[in-house]
């Protein structure tokens, strides 16, 4: 049985932004994938928000900052971000 871990990075959070700017997130993504993890990056922003990125622009944004996840997921409804806020006491 293949045991793969799934890692989720919430990129809109200040901590994640800081990690990307310092290059640590990119290093961690590469290390995790090399060690059998599946790294999912979620851009969670409702399509009516100013910080929403269309899929092609989101890919360009991720590439420009050196991101190398297994997949870049676009949460245009903002549901994932809302769920994180609810579960983690940030509401």
pTM for the whole structure: 0.70
Q: Mean pLDDT, 10 residues at a time, over the chain (91 residues)?
A: 43 73 92 93 85 90 91 88 65 49
Q: What ranges do the domains of the chain cover?
A: 6-87
Q: What SS3 string covers the chain?
A: CCCCCEEEEECCCHHHHHHHHHCHHHHHHHHHHHCCCEEEEEEECCCCCCCCCCHHHHHHHHHHCCCCCCEEEEECCCHHHHHHHHHCCCC
């Amino acid at each position: 049985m293949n045991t793969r871990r799934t890692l989720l990075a919430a990129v809109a959070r200040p901590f994640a932004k800081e990690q990307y700017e310092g290059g640590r997130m990119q290093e961690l993504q590469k290390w995790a994938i090399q060690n059998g993890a599946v790294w999912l990056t979620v851009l969670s922003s409702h399509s009516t928000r100013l910080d929403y990125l269309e899929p092609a622009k989101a890919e360009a944004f991720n590439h420009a900052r050196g991101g190398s996840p297994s997949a870049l997921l676009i949460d245009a409804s903002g549901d994932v971000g809302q769920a994180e806020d609810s579960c983690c006491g940030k509401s």
